[in-house]
Amino acid sequence: MKPSRPDYILIFTIAGLAFCGLIVLASASSFVAQNRFGSPYFYLFRQMTYGLAIGLVGFLITQKLNYQIWKKAAVWILFANIVLLILVFIPSFGFNYGGANRWIHFGSFSFQPGELVKLSFILYLAAWLSSKQKEISDFSTGLVPFLTITGGVGLLLMIQPDIGTLGVLTITAAMMYFAAGARLSHLFLIFGMGIGGLFGLIKIAPYRLNRLVSFLHPDVDPLGIGYQITQATLAIGSGGIFGLGFGRSRQKYNYLPEVFGDSIFAIFAEEMGFIAAIILISLFLLLALRGFRIAKNTPDLFGKYAAIGITCWIAVQAFVNIAAISGLIPLTGIPLPFVSYGSSALAVNLIAVGILVNISKSASHKY
């Protein structure tokens, strides 16, 4: 394949999202950072050092490397990531926070393998789908191996527990499987298994039912199970058309939980207003459109499926986060890509879109 120019619209879109993330993080995290560490920009500097800096280096490398290299290395990358997912349960490597084992600790640096597994799993699944193209629609050689692969990784995420990542990964995998030519009957079976699994997770941990209750009746317990969505709605509504102004959020003063994590979109809407919120949503939509366009115009199957997977992952996670914090779907507890605080997430997001940019060089562009 003769290399072509990258998708510059995609690159500028990614830059816009990262810039918006740093701007809102500077304000949203300032109160908590000042109280905990004596500096209002502690989380911002940490995000820039461990997330943005490492992620930019990764982006520059992956957008240069021929993406075909990931097809050959996909199985080993996924295997290494599975080892990391297991290490989170070993006390000398992993640590528990908030009742979940999701982090590996190296001195003052912590890393969340669940973020990297999204990318490694997508690359492995893209390699597998491209090599089994003629067998995808078959039950025994297509559906069963797909369910085995997805279920094995999903089980490790479930016992952490990291249900948000599990949900995003499952939806992304199903979309990739559909794009590869899966039968509709197999997809309906996957959907049914997913619904059954959801009820099983609620049965195991009934507190998850509270999220559904708070979604259907947020006013039933506004100081309890409905507190986060009530405060998030207040933040979004307070922003109006043009917002309260940068740094003038009221909900960040210990009113809104996860203020610079899962709830950061509410702070963005409160300070920047409805118009800015629509622009942010439009950037995610533009990223999705460019990603699917790249997938459509990529000549080889691995590049096509990898582009679909990376695009679906970021788009699904973004719109689930925004819809949840806006009260359109039950709360899910997943971060907003490029925007929420999380060094591991930002670094992996940038590395992933670097691969997508490299894939775009082999796609035919018609602007």
CA distance 298 to 1: 10
State the pLDDT at residue 367: 41
CA distance 49 to 232: 29
Separation in Å, CA 143 to CA 70, 82, 110, 204, 310: 23, 22, 36, 27, 21
**Token digits of residue 267:** 């702070």
State the pLDDT at residue 1: 45
141 sits in which H/E element: none
State the pLDDT at residue 212: 65
| 339 neighbors 264 (Cβ within 8 angstroms) | yes
Omega within 30 of 0 (cis) for the link into 335: no
Q: Which of 81, 92, 53, 138 is nearest to 347 (CA)?
A: 53
Identify the DSSP state of 300.
S
State the pLDDT at residue 306: 95
Q: Find the Cα–Cα–Cα–Cα dihedral 293, 298, 302, 305, rounded to 10°.
A: 10
Q: In 77-134, at which residue ranges do the beta strands (DSSP E only) sit?
A: 94-97, 100-106, 109-111
State the pLDDT at residue 74: 92
- At 295, is the secondary structure helix, strand, or coil? helix
State the pLDDT at residue 153: 86
For residues 104-140, one letter each, b for 16 or more C-beta atoms within 10 angstroms of the residue's C-beta and e for the rest, the string is beeeeebbbbbbbbbbbbbbbbbbbbbeeeeebeeee
State the pLDDT at residue 180: 87
Does pTM top 0.75 for this prediction?
A: yes
| 256 neighbors 228 (Cβ within 8 angstroms) | yes
State the pLDDT at residue 131: 87
Per-residue pLDDT of the chain (367 residues; tens, 9 = 90+): 445 788 999 999 999 999 999 999 999 999 999 999 989 999 999 999 989 999 999 999 999 999 999 998 999 999 998 888 888 887 777 666 666 677 777 666 677 888 889 999 999 999 999 988 778 878 888 788 888 888 888 888 888 777 778 888 999 999 999 998 888 888 888 888 877 777 776 666 666 666 666 666 666 656 666 778 888 888 999 989 999 999 899 998 988 888 888 899 999 999 999 999 999 999 999 999 999 999 999 989 999 999 999 999 999 999 999 998 988 888 777 899 999 998 889 999 999 999 999 999 987 654 4
**Token digits of residue 91:** 């006390």
CA distance 355 to 247: 35
| 352 neighbors 58 (Cβ within 8 angstroms) | no
